Amino acid sequence: MRNYGILCSLTLCLSTYAFAQDQGAQAPTTPPAAAPADAPPPTAWTYKGFSASGYVDVYYNQNENNPSSRFSQVQALNITANKFSLNSATASFSYDANPIGFRVDVGDGRTYDSFYLSEPKHTDWSRHLLNAYVTLKPKGWKGVTVDFGKFVTSAGAEVTESHLNWNYSRSLLFAFGPYYHTGLRVTVPVTPTWSVGGQAVTGWNLMRDNNSGKTYGFTSLNTLKKVVVANNYYTGPENNNTNKGWRNFYDLAVTVTATDKISAYYNLDIGNSKYAGGGSGTFWGMASAARFALTKHLAVSPRIEYYSDKDGFWTGTPQAFKEFTGTGEWKFNESFIARIEYRRDWSDQPFFQVGQIPGASKHQTMITAGFMMVLKPGMFSFSK
């Protein structure tokens, strides 16, 4: 725990230093929660506060291990192997909080399957809802926002929507972190560039609570001129049918926009989950990625990471992973995006399935082609 304290202290120093250096900087028009800093602003059809938008995301994944299960291990959302799949077809509807608003994202695809399968208690009626929450934001509250319902997590350097990330596949840190929460969250702006928040939720990836306890989240977001620093901490009981044994999870995401063509991020996760009967599982990982915009239409994004599941908490096998991903992107316009991606995962233990044999290989290599279409006004306008 001494190293954990040192990391937290370094993180606090980094956040304070970055904030002090850029306190007077103007925040970007669309500050990312923890997403890459050049994530495009939301686009939609709007009418008197109502907004409607959506996207379609399809892919083909070729897993060189050819698993007979047609399942690619340690993937977060694009979980199928050697087949064409619908990753997500999502429609989004929202109403600006004045003082009451809402947001609903509804759809289908492998993203929704992954969210559903991650639930300790499956809730069939909600499996097609990505977000579904009501927002309260009275003018007299000076920017304080309250959300209640189901919402994607604040943790992580990547987000659920493929077109808002730099790589097509999600990192190991995303795969082994929380996807969404259900409950109450409050966001409080402290300065024009710094906001803090608190959450009281049912836990990780839950619509119906699996115990009588609650998980509490604490967030801090510094949105500066060229640097975004997001700190997130979740703590609470996560074991089924008991409040014994709490899970503690810390997430740091630092995004740097060096120029309008070069961006990078660093992501750190540290967690420990205690078992109800005693003992615990410790896990941690770090990832870094960059994005190089070579032209208006072409970009490349490498990503590297290390993840330690030293007690086998997530995978059932004590092991450590390494991962490298290289992604090439061709953007026809803001609505039509194509990506080709090479990814290789390594473990220090024979873990990956080969053919019909589970645990036959220490590595897994995948080639993925993804195509995303973002629905928006003027989507069929192409420029050279």
Give the per-residue pLDDT at 121: 75
pLDDT confidence of residue 137: 96
Q: Which domain CATH number covers 275?
A: 2.40.160.10
Q: Report how many domains make up the chain.
A: 1
User: N- to C-terminal Cα distance for the chain?
Assistant: 55
Is residue 43 included in any domain, yes or no?
yes
Do the beta carbons of residue 37 and residue 222 sit within 8 Å?
Answer: no
What letters, b where the CB count within 10 A reaches 16 and e where it falls short, cover 5-26? eeeeeebeebbeebbeebeeee
> How high is the pLDDT of residue 11?
37
Give the per-residue pLDDT at 123. 75
Vertex 168: Cα angle to 164 and 169 (nearest 5):
120
- Backbone torsions φ then ψ of 373, nearest 5 degrees: -125, 115
Q: How far is CA 192 from CA 12, 28, 29, 124, in A?
A: 19, 11, 12, 41
Place of tokens 């074991």: 239
Task: Please answer whether residues 154 and 197 qualify as being in contact, where contact means their C-beta atoms are separated by less than 8 angstroms.
Answer: yes
Query: Which DSSP state fits 141?
Result: G
In this predicted structure, what is the pLDDT of residue 378? 72
Look at strands 336-347 and 319-331 and give their pairing.
antiparallel
CA distance 349 to 355: 18
380 in a structural domain: no
Structure token digits, residue 37:
């800093």
Beta bridge partners of 363: 346
225 lies in some domain: yes
Q: What is the pLDDT of residue 246?
A: 97
Which residue, among 55, 65, 67, has the nearest Cα to 111 in the 3D structure?
55
DSSP H or E stretch at residue 119? none
**DSSP string computed for 174-208:** HHTS--EEEEEEEEEEEETTEEEEEEEES-SS-SS
Domain assignment present for 310:
yes
**Cβ neighbours around 331 below 10 Å, total:** 19
Can you give the pTM of this predicted structure?
0.88
- Is position 284 within any domain? yes
315 in a structural domain:
yes
Please name which of 169, 168, 61, 149 lies closest in space to residue 105, comparing C-alpha atoms.
Answer: 149
Q: How far apart are CA 82 and CA 60, in angstroms?
A: 7
The predicted structure's pLDDT at residue 42: 56
Within a domain: 384: no
Q: How many CB atoms lie within 10 A of CB 261?
A: 13
Q: Average pLDDT of each block of 10 consecutive residues along the chain (384 residues)?
A: 37 35 32 38 79 96 96 94 96 94 96 89 83 95 96 95 96 97 96 97 91 96 96 96 96 96 97 95 98 97 98 97 98 94 98 96 98 86 65
Domain that residue 291 falls in: 2-375
Query: Is 307 inside any structural domain?
Result: yes
